[in-house]
Amino acid sequence: MNGRSRSRLAAWALLLLLVWLVVYPLVLVLADALRADGRWSLAWVRQFAASGIEWSALWGSVWISLASVAVAGLVGVPLAFLVERLDFPGRRWLATALALPAVLPPLVGSVAFLFLFGETGFLARLVQTILRLDAPPWRFEGALAILLVHGYTMYAYFYLFTRAGLASLDTSVYEAAASLGAGRRRTLTRVVLPLLRPALGGAALLVFMTSLASFSAPYLFGGGFRVMTTQIVATRLNGDESLAMVETVSLTLVALAALWLLSRVEGDVAVAGKGVAPAPRQVTSRARRALLGGAAWLVGTALLLPHLTLLLVSFVPLGTWTTEAVPPAYTLRNYVTLVTDPVRWRPLLNSLWMALAATAAAVALAIVAGMLVVRRRVPERRWIEVLLAMPWAVPGTVFAIALATAFSVHRPALARVVLIGTVWLLPLAYLVRNLPLTGRALLAGFRGLDPALDEAAATLGAGRLRTLARVTLPLLRPALVAGATLAFVTAFGDFVTSIVLYTYDTRPISLEILGSLRQSDVGVAAAYGVVLMLVSATVFALGAERRAEGG
C-alpha cells in the first residue's frame, strides 16, 4: 500500500470517528424527536409547536442573544478604541483589567455576580442597611440580570477582536485618509470601521453563539424568564424525554441558521499586509488626562469586583453570614476542607483528570486532522474541517443531550454502547466540545508551517516519525499550547454538559459549586470558584509565556 492510499484510509478512519462522535448523536436526537410510541410521528413536534411556553423559550434565547451582542459590542468596541488609540495615565492597567472577565469560567462568573448583585449579595445588603429596609431592595433575576452577566463576560470578545483589528491597521491607512482630506469622524466611519468589519463580525458571531448556548446565567438568574437551554434540562428532568429532543432540535436549528446568516454577513475583507499601527495619541489637556485616568482606574477596579467578591466570600465560615452587610467572620477552613476532605477533593481530581484526558485526546485528533487536511491534502479534507468545527456551532446542552441519548442503550451493531452512568461519558463529552478549539488552533498552526521544512527533513534522511518529533511538533508548539490551554480551561470549568451527564463518581467542580450553594455553604462554593479561576488564569498565563518562547 503506498502513502497515498494510507492517507485516504486514515482520513476515512478519522471521518468515521468524527461522524460517530459529532453527527451520529445529533441524528439520533432528531430521530427520537420524530418518534412516538415506537413509530415515526410528528406528535411531539406538534405538541412543541402548540405550546406557547416553548415558543417563548426559543424566542427568549434568540432575543437575549441579540441583546447580548448589542450590549457587549457597545461596551467592548469603545473600550478597545480608548485603549488602543489614546494614551493617558492608567492605560496599561486598564488594558489588562479589561481582559480579566475572560479568565472566569461561565458558572464562576455567574456565582460571583450572585454574591455581588444578588438579593443577598453585597450590593443589595449595603443598600438595605443604608436605607434601613426590611427586605432586599431588588431581586437580581430575569432578562436584565442575564443580560448584565452576559455583557460582563462577553464584551471581552468585542474588546479583544477590535484591539487586534486596530493593531493590524497600518499607519498609512490613517495617513492616506488624512491626505485625502478626511477628518477624524469620516476616517472612522468610512475607513476604520469598514476595515474592522471582519473583526466585529467575528466577535458578534462569537457572542451570539455563546449567549445562545449560555446555561449558567439563565439557570441561576432566569427566574420566570425562559430560554431554551434551561428549558431542555427542565423538560428532561420532568421525564418528557421526547419533548426535550424536539426542543434540542429547535435550538440546534436556530444555532445553525444564525451561523449561516452571520457568516454570510461577516464577509472577507482582507487588510492588506501586516500593519504597523500608529502610536496611541497622547491626551494633552490636563483636565482630560485626570478625568480619563480616574475613569480608567475606576472601571478597571469595577471589573475586578466579581473576582474580589468571590475571594472574600471564600473565607466565610458556614452559617456565619446572615443579615450583615459584610461577612462578620473569616476562616481558611473552606480551603483546608478542599484538600483534606475526600468528599471535597474528589471533584477537583475528577475535573482535573477528565479535562486532561479530553484535552490530550482532542489535541491528538487535531494533530492527525492537521496532517491529513493540510499536509496530505486528502480529498476528504473539507469534511474533516466541517466536522471538527461543528461542536462549536451546536450549544453544549444539545451535545450533552445528544450524547446521553446515543450512549444510553447497548446496541453494538448500531455503534451504540451504554456509557451513561460510567466514568467515560463526561470525558467523551469534553472531548467533543474541545475538538473545535484544538482543531482550529492546530489547523492554523499546520497552515503556518512551510511544507518545504518537511521536504528538507526527508532529503536529510529523516523518516515520518523523526520528522514529526524533531521538526513538525516543535514548530507547532505555539499552536499546540494555544489549543491545549483553551481546551483544558474550558473542560475544567465546564458546567453545561456536566449538569446533564455527571454521575456521583464523576461529579466535576462546577456541580460541587452548585451543590454547596444549595446547602447555603457559600464559603466552600466560592472557594471552589477561586480555585477554578486561579487554575484557569495560571494555565492561560503559562500558555501565553510558552507561546511567546516558542514564537
Taking the complex as a whole, the smallest distance from the CB of residue 470 to other proteins amounts, in Å, to 7
**Rounded Cα gap, residues 308 and 530, in angstroms:** 10
Given the DSSP bridges, would you call strands 281-282 and 86-87 parallel, antiparallel or unpaired?
parallel
For the stretch 508-513, contacts whose Cβ atoms lie closer than 8 Å and that sit 24 or more positions apart, written own/partner, are: 508/347, 508/350, 508/351, 508/354, 508/426, 509/347, 509/348, 509/350, 509/351, 510/105, 510/107, 510/351, 511/347, 512/344, 512/347, 513/107, 513/108, 513/111
Taking the complex as a whole, the smallest distance from the CB of residue 448 to other proteins amounts, in Å, to 11
In the bound state with other proteins, the residue whose beta carbon lies nearer, of 442 and 457, is 457
User: In DSSP terms, which residues pair with 281 in a beta bridge?
Assistant: 86
User: Is 259:53 a contact under the CB 8 Å cutoff?
Assistant: no
10 Å Cβ neighbour count for 56? 15
Q: Identify the residue among 22, 108, 402, 457 touching other proteins (CB under 8 A).
A: 457
Site string for other proteins, 466-495 (x = CB under 8 A): x---xx--xx--------------------
Q: Identify the residue among 179, 452, 504, 518 touching other proteins (CB under 8 A).
A: 452
Q: 441: which 3 cell numbers? A: 488552533
In the bound state with other proteins, the residue whose beta carbon lies nearer, of 336 and 460, is 460
Q: Does 465 bind other proteins (CB under 8 A)?
A: no
- What is the size of the binding site for other proteins (CB under 8 A)? 19
The contacts of residue 334 (CB under 8 Å, 6+ apart) are 314, 315, 316, 317, 523, 524, 526, 527
Taking the complex as a whole, the smallest distance from the CB of residue 62 to other proteins amounts, in Å, to 45
Site string for other proteins, 3-22 (x = CB under 8 A): x-------------------
Query: C-alpha angle with apex 65: 60 to 68, nearest 5 degrees?
Result: 125
Stretch that binds other proteins, among 206-214, 245-253, 393-401, 445-453 (CB under 8 A): 445-453
In the bound state with other proteins, the residue whose beta carbon lies nearer, of 268 and 450, is 450
In the bound state with other proteins, the residue whose beta carbon lies nearer, of 31 and 456, is 456
In the bound state with other proteins, the residue whose beta carbon lies nearer, of 195 and 482, is 482
User: Is 139:127 a contact under the CB 8 Å cutoff?
Assistant: no
Q: 105: which 3 cell numbers? A: 469560567
Q: Identify the residue among 134, 450, 465, 504 touching other proteins (CB under 8 A).
A: 450
Stretch that binds other proteins, among 36-44, 174-182, 214-222, 455-463 (CB under 8 A): 455-463
Q: Does 462 bind other proteins (CB under 8 A)?
A: yes
Nearest to 531 by CA among 108, 79, 48: 108
In the bound state with other proteins, the residue whose beta carbon lies nearer, of 170 and 380, is 380
Q: Does 463 bind other proteins (CB under 8 A)?
A: yes
Q: Does 459 bind other proteins (CB under 8 A)?
A: yes
Q: Does 455 bind other proteins (CB under 8 A)?
A: yes
Residues engaged in binding other proteins (CB under 8 A): 3, 450, 452-453, 455-463, 466, 470-471, 474-475, 550
